Chain A
Amino acid sequence: EAEVAQSPRYKITEKSQAVAFWCDPISGHATLYWYRQILGQGPELLVQFQDESVVDDSQLPKDRFSAERLKGVDSTLKIQPAELGDSAMYLCASSPLEANTEAFFGQGTRLTVV
């Protein structure tokens, strides 16, 4: 069964350092989402791609976060510099282009900033 792949699973970094997460969506899925989930809360949309184009990044803290999906396939989310408040689970999800279809989630990357 096809899955959304994310790496790394866990990352510990010191504040002010740079960190990057990678996501490989299910083959053929045009839509890719990056979410941040703080423990005890619902996923917060950071950025949404349609193929290689950003559809929505209104909640992305652009002074320190960046995301790209250059070839419309896999995607990278970067934080530089990391802050203590960035500690969270970062989830990637993908779905086909059709609006009324399921979004499939990767295992997530658990980030701890110390």
Chain B
Amino acid sequence: GENVEQHPSTLSVQEGDSAVIKCTYSDSASNYFPWYKQELGKRPQLIIDIRSNVGEKKDQRIAVTLNKTAKHFSLHITETQPEDSAVYFCAARSGSNYQLIWGAGTKLIIKP
């Protein structure tokens, strides 16, 4: 089955700087890669996703890149703000059995 690894587990950046979180996956049949943001005590909320037929997607300060050959994808947040502080999860969904498997999460801390 699919296995998703996420790094780093904790990331601390100065407000205004960029943050990058990386994930790798194992199942070549995976074709959908969402990123979720989870604030303490709340449910995960989708912030951006990418499908396997594109290499990059951007939405304002957030971008995701996908390298299918290397089986890795990354989340990029530019001009970080205090409200970006949260736990971020990557996930991969198989096109064969629709499993949605998650990474372990990255706690992003924005220092004022």
CB within 8 Å of B: which residues of A?
A: 31, 33, 35, 40-45, 48, 50, 55-56, 58, 91, 93, 95, 97, 99-103, 105-108
A88 CB to nearest chain B CB (Å): 13
- Residues from chain A with a CB closer than 8 A to the CB of B31 are 99-100
Contact check, B97 vs A33: say whether CB atoms are below 8 A apart: no
Given contact pairs A42-B89, A100-B93, A105 touches B44 in the complex (Cβ within 8 A): yes
Chain B positions within 8 Å of A101 at CB level: 32
Do the beta carbons of B100 and A58 come within 8 Å of each other?
no
Sample of 10 more A-B contacts, CB < 8 Å, known A45-B100, A102-B46: A33-B100, A41-B105, A42-B6, A42-B102, A43-B102, A48-B98, A55-B99, A95-B98, A103-B100, A105-B44
Interface size class of B (residues with CB under 8 A): 20 to 34
Contact B101 A31 (CB under 8 A): no
Which one of A42, A48, A100, A107 lies within 8 Å of B43 (CB-CB)? A107
Instruction: Say whether B94 faces chain A, with CB atoms less than 8 Å apart.
Output: yes
**How many residue pairs, one in A and one in B, have C-beta atoms under 8 Å apart?**
64
Q: Decide if B72 is an interface residue (CB 8 Å cutoff).
A: no
List, in ascending order, chain A residues with CB within 8 A of B94's CB.
99
Is A50 a contact partner of B98 (Cβ separation < 8 A)? Answer: yes
State how many angstroms separate the Cβ of B44 from the closest Cβ of chain A: 5
Could you write out 9 A-B pairs with CB less than 8 Å apart? A41-B104, A42-B89, A43-B89, A44-B102, A50-B98, A56-B97, A99-B96, A105-B44, A108-B43
List of A residues within 8 angstroms of B95 by Cβ: 99-100
- CB of A67, distance to nearest CB on chain B (Å): 15
Q: Which residues of A contact B104 (CB under 8 A)?
A: 41-42
